[in-house]
């Protein structure tokens, strides 16, 4: 019987085929973007199944996002030509670890119906603990502690394992103790936070070798996508599962040695220090066992060191670089043919990433045509940038392209606002991937709620949303009382509030707080008659303590939220008054309700990992915004290299067209600031790049003279250049100076987008 090559194998190149067919032992596919790593993983599952090497339930496949997991399932069905009976364990680290944890919850002092806390619950709980311990929440904000705990959990550290030096940074050395108390409280509440899904799963495996052995036996094959972005906890979890089930003593793992040495116990195994790159989050020096672990299982990890973009969240690119140490006898396969992008795009991306020093380096080639050059377009400001991109998209549409083939990838989420508004105006369907739409973000909804109450005191929903945000001692009980009053007398909540403060139904403290709030709203309402609505918004955000709440917040996404708030104020400038603005918002919110079939995708670069689109727009390539100033300030050279990898990820998402934009001016608080085009633009090979004129209306006259430093002198562009945009800018500049005055502090630039906006699992957590 002649062997027929199954359909799913026939299209693969020899290296890909080797990666699919090498089923025994550890395999690492270390290869660049678009070389078919994800496709190899999917084929591998198909191959395992069709060879009868395992049943679906014996395969564990880890993806970086839930979306990627869904896609893989879909492709798998297509490859096999039939739906898979019984599903492989296919999902993110957290979803799979969570599933296992639920099955054995009682072994880690939880019940199987435990709740997963969101960030708000988490903060509330931590605040209680701080109060009980007499720790000043102003000096030591609960959110800071939440951030620390999250970081420790990412590194697989239980409370007893947190290095003393790190625990000391919070609450005069009480950080570690608070972490322990927090974990105890979670158990009492039958709850886990997001980080616990993995951490408690690791503890479960360590403390119950029989349970671990059960899963080790079950999972005959393990597959991991985007391995370059795994953090220590994910690594430890994987290592535990990837070991062949051992009867007695299981050898210790790399991370475990580290934990041991932290707790200062003796009995240290023979270890050698491993050199590691400087990390923003100071990890103790890693150590590694010299003796090989027991023969590892059939694990296949794929990744690309040039696409490691989650270092700021604890991902360790070392994990991929040391794969063959961790899994002795690993077969390392490199793929060099890129199937995604045209020649110009691939050349541009490869040339850019070659500026990084800390990389393995790899060759990528394509057999595709050169195609269109990567375009770089300067717009006058972000508004023109959005207009220009909107027009280009409409042009593509007229030429027969589907909107599904178009994506806009931004560095920071605040950039989305301009595009969303533009698309609503144009009637272009769009979807935001990996996060809420701009006006649906929690901080934006909060800010809008304040404005809505000012505009319309009877807006109960808005009032209730912010009555205790930021916290001012008006908790659930107070709100309940207001509701009772309001219902009885058929009056709005804010009126009920007025009535209640005149009685002694509330405790003095709550009464005072409510009275202050009412007075504030009266004042703001009076101001709204005489002040510009943008200024009013700033006053309200300031006086209500709302901005301050986020300024004090040390969690990773706080800075992004502050930028979004600034962007909100900026978006108001385009409207006559508060009323007009709020009407626009309700229109936007309303329109966004339906999920269109064909729509432009809008997302951050972080969320774009693993995806591909025919046409990719990359706006905002300006110094400070991209690379992000904050990342540079905080992480120096390592930060710059991570930003560059992010740029590389962005470019390599494009199949046929990559279109870069920068705005020569960005506006903050009505004050204009001239920007410098991103250094990444200078790092593109001139041969593969074409400078084009903005279609946004002002006719940015960019042509000629594009040497290596062609973008260095923005002033030169600006000076010979007068447009409606420019006039608008002048007018606004004058207005800005008349109002609040003053430039902006470079360090607080809303350009420095930094972290914060990411897709993947943090999204599910913070949604
Ligand atoms: P990334 O690093 O961005 O995640 P990747 O290495 O995972 O990229 P894939 O997404 O698997 O790459 O593949 C990129 C594109 O190339 C996909 O459209 C895929 O279908 C296609 N492709 C991969 N291998 C082949 C092949 N042998 N023949 C034809 N197309 C292929
Ligand atoms: Mg991939």
**What's the gap in Å between 438 CA and the centre of ligand 2?**
27
Instruction: Please tell me if the domain spanning 15-105+196-248+294-333 has the same topology as the one spanning 372-435+592-766.
Output: yes
442-570 placed in CATH 2.170.130.10 = no
Which protein residue has the closest C-alpha to ligand 1 atom 11?
36
Architecture of domain 372-435+592-766: 3-Layer(aba) Sandwich (3.40)
Tally Cβ neighbours within 10 Å of residue 441. Answer: 23
Atom of ligand 1 nearest to the CA of 649: 3
First vs last C-alpha separation in the chain: 55
Q: Is 343 in the pocket of ligand 1 (CB under 6 A)?
A: no
| 666 DSSP assignment | E
Cα 73 to Cα 46, 52, 84, 295, 759: the distances in Å are: 10, 18, 9, 30, 20
Which protein residue has the closest C-alpha to ligand 1 atom 4?
610
Q: Which ligand is nearest to the CA of 31?
A: 1
**What's the gap in Å between 44 CA and the centre of ligand 1?**
14
**What's the gap in Å between 293 CA and the centre of ligand 1?**
33
Atom of ligand 1 nearest to the CA of 39: 11
* Alpha-carbon span 692 to 688, nearest angstrom: 13
**277 marked ligand binding residue:** no
**What's the gap in Å between 38 CA and the centre of ligand 2?**
4
Q: What is the pLDDT of residue 73?
A: 87
Calculate the CA 517 to chain-centre distance.
35
Q: Which ligand is nearest to the CA of 651?
A: 1
Q: Is 650 in the pocket of ligand 1 (CB under 6 A)?
A: no
Best residue for ligand 1 mutational test, from 39, 67, 224, 405 (most atoms within 8 Å of Cβ):
39
Instruction: Report which of 389, 442, 533 is spatially closest to residue 756, judged by C-alpha positions.
Output: 442
Cα 529 to Cα 463, 520, 574, 739: the distances in Å are: 20, 15, 18, 16
Strands (E), 25-134: 27-30, 59-63, 89-92, 115-116
CB-based contact 501:494 (threshold 8 Å): no
Spans in the chain with pLDDT lower than 70: 1-4, 83-85, 246-296, 590-596, 667-671, 695-767
Architecture of domain 15-105+196-248+294-333: 3-Layer(aba) Sandwich (3.40)
Q: Which residues are catalytic?
A: 37-38, 225-226, 307, 653
Q: What is the pLDDT of residue 740?
A: 28
Which protein residue has the closest C-alpha to ligand 1 atom 24?
36
115-189 placed in CATH 3.30.530.20 = no
Q: What is the pLDDT of residue 3?
A: 62
Q: Is 36 in the pocket of ligand 1 (CB under 6 A)?
A: yes
Best residue for ligand 1 mutational test, from 7, 34, 46, 616 (most atoms within 8 Å of Cβ):
34
**38 marked ligand binding residue:** yes
- Cα torsion for 480, 485, 487, 492, to the nearest 10°? -90
**What's the gap in Å between 189 CA and the centre of ligand 2?**
39
**34 marked ligand binding residue:** yes
Map out the domains of the chain as residue ranges: 15-105+196-248+294-333, 115-189, 252-292, 372-435+592-766, 442-570
Best residue for ligand 1 mutational test, from 301, 333, 340 (most atoms within 8 Å of Cβ):
340
């Amino acid at each position: 019987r002649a062997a027929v090559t199954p359909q799913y194998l026939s299209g693969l190149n020899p290296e890909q085929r080797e990666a699919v067919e090498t089923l025994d032992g550890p395999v690492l596919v270390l290869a660049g973007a678009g070389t078919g790593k994800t496709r190899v993983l999917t084929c591998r599952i198909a191959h395992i199944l069709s060879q009868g090497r395992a049943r679906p339930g014996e395969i564990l496949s880890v993806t970086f996002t839930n979306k990627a997991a869904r896609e893989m399932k879909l492709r798998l069905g297509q490859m096999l030509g039939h739906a898979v009976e019984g599903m492989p364990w296919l999902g993110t680290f957290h979803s799979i670890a969570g599933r296992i944890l639920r099955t054995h919850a009682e072994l880690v002092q939880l019940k199987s119906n435990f709740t997963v806390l969101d960030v708000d619950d988490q903060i509330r709980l931590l605040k209680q603990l701080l109060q009980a311990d007499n720790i000043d929440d102003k000096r030591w904000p609960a959110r800071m502690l939440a951030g620390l705990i999250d970081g420790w959990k990412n590194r697989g550290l239980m409370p007893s394992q947190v290095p003393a030096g790190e625990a000391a940074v919070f609450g005069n050395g009480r950080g570690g103790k608070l972490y322990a108390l927090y974990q105890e409280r979670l158990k009492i509440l039958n709850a886990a936070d997001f980080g616990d899904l993995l951490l408690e799963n690791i503890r479960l495996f360590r403390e119950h070798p029989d349970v671990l052995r059960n899963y080790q036996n079950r999972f005959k094959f393990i597959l991991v996508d985007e391995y370059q972005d795994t953090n220590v906890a994910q690594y430890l979890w994987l290592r535990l599962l990837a070991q062949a089930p051992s009867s007695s003593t299981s050898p210790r793992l790399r991370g475990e040695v580290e934990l041991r040495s932290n707790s200062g116990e003796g009995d240290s195994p023979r270890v050698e220090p491993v050199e590691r790159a400087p990390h923003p989050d100071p990890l103790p020096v890693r150590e590694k066992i010299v003796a090989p672990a027991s023969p590892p299982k059939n694990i296949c990890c794929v990744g690309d060191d040039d696409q490691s973009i989650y270092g700021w969240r604890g991902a360790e690119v070392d994990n991929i670089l040391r794969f063959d140490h961790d899994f002795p006898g690993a077969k390392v396969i490199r793929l060099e043919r890129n199937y995604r992008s045209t020649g110009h795009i691939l050349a541009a991306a490869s040339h850019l990433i070659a500026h990084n020093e800390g990389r393995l380096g790899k060759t990528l080639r394509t057999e595709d045509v050169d195609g269109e050059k990567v375009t770089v377009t300067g717009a006058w400001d972000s508004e023109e940038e959005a207009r220009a991109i909107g027009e280009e998209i409409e042009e593509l549409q007229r030429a027969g392209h589907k909107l599904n083939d178009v994506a806009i990838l931004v560095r920071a989420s605040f950039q989305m606002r301009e595009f969303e508004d533009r698309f609503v105006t144009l009637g272009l369907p769009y979807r935001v991937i990996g996060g809420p739409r701009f006006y649906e973000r929690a901080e934006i909804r909060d800010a809008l709620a304040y404005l809505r109450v000012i505009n319309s005191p009877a807006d109960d929903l808005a009032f209730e949303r912010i009555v205790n945000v930021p916290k001012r001692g008006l908790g659930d009980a107070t709100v309940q009382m207001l509701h009772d009053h309001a219902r009885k007398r058929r009056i709005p909540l804010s009126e009920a509030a007025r009535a209640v403060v005149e009685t002694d139904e509330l405790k003095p403290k709550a009464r005072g707080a409510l009275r202050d709030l009412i007075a504030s709203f009266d004042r703001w309402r009076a101001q709204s008659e005489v002040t510009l609505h943008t200024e009013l918004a700033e006053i309200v955000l300031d006086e209500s303590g709302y901005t301050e709440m986020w300024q004090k917040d040390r969690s990773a996404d706080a800075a992004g939220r502050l930028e979004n708030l600034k962007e909100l104020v900026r978006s108001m400038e385009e409207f006559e008054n508060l009323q007009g603005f709020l009407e626009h918002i309700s229109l936007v919110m309303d329109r966004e309700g339906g999920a269109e079939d064909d729509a432009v995708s809008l997302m951050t670069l972080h969320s774009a990992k693993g995806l591909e689109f025919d046409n990719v727009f990359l706006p905002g390539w300006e110094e400070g915004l991209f690379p992000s100033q904050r990342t540079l300030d905080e992480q120096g050279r390592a930060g710059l290299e991570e930003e560059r990898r992010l740029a590389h990820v962005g470019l390599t998402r494009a199949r046929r067209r990559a279109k870069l934009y920068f705005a020569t001016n960005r506006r903050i608080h009505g004050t204009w600031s001239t920007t410098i085009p991103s250094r990444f633009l200078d790092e593109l090979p001139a041969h593969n790049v074409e400078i084009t004129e903005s279609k946004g209306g002002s006719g940015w006259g960019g042509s000629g003279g594009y040497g290596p430093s062609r973008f260095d002198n923005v002033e030169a562009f600006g000076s010979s250049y007068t447009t409606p945009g420019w006039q608008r800018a002048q007018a606004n500049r004058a207005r800005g100076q008349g109002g609040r005055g003053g430039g902006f502090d470079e360090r607080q630039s809303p350009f420095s987008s930094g972290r914060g906006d990411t897709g993947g699992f943090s999204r599910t957590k913070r949604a």
